[in-house]
Structure formats: C-alpha cells, structure tokens
Amino acid sequence: MGLRVGERVQCMSCRGLWVLVSAALAACSADNGPVRPPSSSADGESPGVEGDGSSSTSDPSNEIPGGRVAQPTMPPPGAAGSGAMPREMVDPDECSAVSETADVELGPADIVWVIDGSASMLDEIMAVQQNITNFANQISMAGIDHHVVMVANADVAAPTPLGADPEHYRFVLANVDSRNSLQVLLDTYSLYSDFMRPEAPLHFVVVTDDNSFLQHAQFKDQMEALAGKPFFFHSIASEDAPGPCIGACGLPLVCGAFAPGFEYYALSDLTGGQKISICTADWSQVFGPLQEAVIASAPLPCDYPIPPPPTGESLDPAKVNMEFIATDAMDPAVLPRAESEADCADNAAWFYDDPAAPTTLRLCPSACELAQGGGTVNIAFGCETVPLVLE
C-alpha cells in the first residue's frame, strides 16, 4: 500500500485511522522557509484536534529534523539504554519538505464478531450488515491484512462483498441469544481458530442489547488459554444509563436495550477495548472507533524502503532521521542511527541495510519490538542524522 509521505497528522483519531506509518522527504534550502504539507482548511490554517475547538499552529519545539510536525512516542524518551532522544534535544534545521510515496505494509489483524440474534436486535443486525463491508475496507486501505469471523444465528455479511471473500471472511453458525455471547465464543472457538493467525492482534466485538450470564473474568481467562495470547474485547452494548439505554425514539426496547451490558463493558475495560452504546443513532460513529482500534493495534513493519527522491534531488545518507510514536505515548522521540546492526545492542535505534548504497531503513531489534505494538513512524530526509552514541 502506498502511503503519502510528508502529510501532517491533525488529531489522535487520525493517527489511528489514517497514518500508522508516514514519512517526510525533505531537502534543505537556503532560499526558502519551511514548506508545510497542504492544509485541509479553506483559509490555509491547520485544523485542531477534533472536538477541542482549537486550531493547530506550528510549534518549533515540536519539529523533527526535516521540518515535519507530528502528533504525539516511545516512552521513556531518553531513558538509559533506550537509545531514543526527546524531540526537544534535536535542533531543527531550515528544511523544505517535499511529499513522496513510501510503500510499506502493516501487519495482520483478526476480528471476531458475535451478534445477538434475539428478536429485539433486528435493527442492530441490519446496521451491522450495512456497515460491515466498509469496516473491513477501511482496515484494508490502511494496509492491514484482515481476517473477519462472524459468529451468529445467520450470516449477516452474506449479501455483502465481504461475505463473498473467503480469503478474509468466515461465517460460523451458532445459536447466539440475549445472554450467551461469551459462552458461544468459547464453545465455537475450534470452528474459527484455524482462521486466526498467531502473529495477529486478536479482537472480539459483541453486538447485544442484554448482559452476559458468563462473568467477564472467567471469559478472559478461558479465551486467553485457548488463543494463547491476550486480546481486545469491544462492546457494542448498553451503558448503565442508569438502567438500559434508550435510543432516539424514546421507547424502551423499541429503540433501546433490554439491560445494561455490565459484563461486556467490564471485559472491555479489562482488555483495553472500546465501549460503544448500542443506542447510538448514527452507526458510522459505532464503526469508526472500532476501525481505529484495529488499525492502531496492527504491528508496524521493521523495514522501511527509501522512497525515490524528487526529480533533480539525490539522497544524502548522512541526512536521514526517524521518529517513532507509540500508540499510548504522549511525547515523540527521535530514534538515533546505529552504524550497523551489530551496534544496536538493546538500543531503540535504526540502521541502513547497506551503508554504502542504502535502499532500506531497518529498525534495531529493540525498536522493532516496540513497533509491534503499533504506532507511527516518521522519516525525514535532508537534515543531519542523529547518531547513536555508544557508552
């Protein structure tokens, strides 16, 4: 998948949904000031974080070599043995950013849906059917190899393009009622386990208007034993309003839930998943956070091919910098360059595949391990490389 390099991430949600890997190709210019990526606003100002009512302005303390402004990185920056440097320790040069395309692929992700098939769920089942293909498409467009499993009384995705794609989709027929979703996921695991991949982050999504008879802690322990790894559990269920939520029509059960999904919400809290009200009127707001969560969990690659320089430009291997932004971090850090893989040790750094004629930037093992947790990598060409200083 080709990702546009040099584009600015404008908000935390954009980081998860749009740019998990980005690069800025920069050429130093003595004649021109910093050239910024195009703004999406009409007046040329950068929009602020969604919902905060503010506008984003360029802060020199937030610049990385290459002139790129990015969103919140790898904790702890500058910690002993980490190799990473806080961004404020790097003096930005006057560089002009030029956008190019870097071809990188993110890792896989497995998503298992379980849908309550009770009569009160007809509208919600239809909403899943209308949105499930776009859900998978958005994840695929982010460069993620997705496997989607649907555990339900009927194949909700059957009439959709996703349902006709056996490489990425599997339906598991099961009797899912108001309160047994968690137990059904355990009982049917052998029917979809071969579709799951050991290296892929695992996500479960429940859609129900009731609660579970199986306690959340019991499910977590049993499923981790079956899967052999942790997982994310996302709940599309009722919050405690108090009592079950009621939708826009104002009529309980007609457009509301039967009971709060206490066990599901507790399981989401325990696994770092999303909690989304089933009474949400606009289901695009239901699927958006799920897409972001899946994309953010996908491991980043450890190798980054160098995009070709613009016409008339040439690559200077001594003027390349890399920044890693972890999904749960607030302060970006610049990864220093090691002279070779042998110099990596336990430092979070990077090195060239061939220092004499480089074609790829490679993360050292410690940095690669961090990247497996998802996040953002920004690459900038044109300003002096930050070196790894060995003690």
pLDDT number for residue 156: 93
Mean pLDDT of 191-204: 96
| Residues 250 and 165 reside in one and the same domain | yes
CA distance 235 to 59: 38
Q: Which two tokens stand for residue 24?
A: 């800025």
| Residues 277 and 196 reside in one and the same domain | yes
How do strand 333-335 and strand 85-86 relate by DSSP bridges? antiparallel
CA distance 155 to 135: 16
Mean pLDDT of 124-147: 91
pLDDT number for residue 315: 79
Question: Are 144 and 298 within 8 A, CB to CB?
Answer: yes
Give the highest mean pLDDT range of 110-114, 310-314, 323-327: 110-114
User: Is the torsion defined by CA of 86, 87, 93, 98 positive or negative?
Assistant: positive
Report the chain's terminal Cα–Cα distance, integer Å.
Answer: 39
pLDDT in tens, 49-75: 333 443 333 343 333 333 332 222 333
| Residues 260 and 115 reside in one and the same domain | yes
Closest CA to 72 of 100, 47, 104, 49: 49
pLDDT number for residue 29: 33
pLDDT number for residue 85: 53
Of the chain, the percentage scoring pLDDT greater than 70 comes to 71
Q: How many domains does the chain divide into?
A: 2
pLDDT number for residue 105: 63
Q: Which residues contact 319 (CB under 8 A, 6 or more apart)?
A: 28, 381, 382, 383, 384, 385
Eight-class DSSP state of 21:
B
| Residues 75 and 120 reside in one and the same domain | no
| Residues 227 and 372 reside in one and the same domain | no
pLDDT number for residue 77: 35
In a domain, 310, yes or no: yes
pLDDT number for residue 31: 37
| Residues 98 and 119 reside in one and the same domain | no
| Residues 98 and 198 reside in one and the same domain | no
Of the chain, the percentage scoring pLDDT greater than 90 comes to 49
| Residues 241 and 371 reside in one and the same domain | no
For the chain, the average pLDDT equals 76
Residue 337 has pLDDT above 90, yes or no: yes
Q: Give the structural domain span for 370.
A: 15-32+60-104+306-381
pTM of the full predicted structure? Answer: 0.65
| Residues 95 and 144 reside in one and the same domain | no
Closest CA to 166 of 180, 182, 150: 150
In a domain, 242, yes or no: yes
Q: Which two tokens stand for residue 111?
A: 């998503």
| Residues 136 and 244 reside in one and the same domain | yes
Mean pLDDT of 262-281: 96
Answer with the residue of higher pLDDT: 133 or 94: 133
Three state DSSP letters for 64-79 = ECCCEECCCCCCCCCC
Q: Which two tokens stand for residue 253?
A: 């059960």
Answer with the residue of higher pLDDT: 189 or 369: 189
Answer with the residue of higher pLDDT: 378 or 111: 111
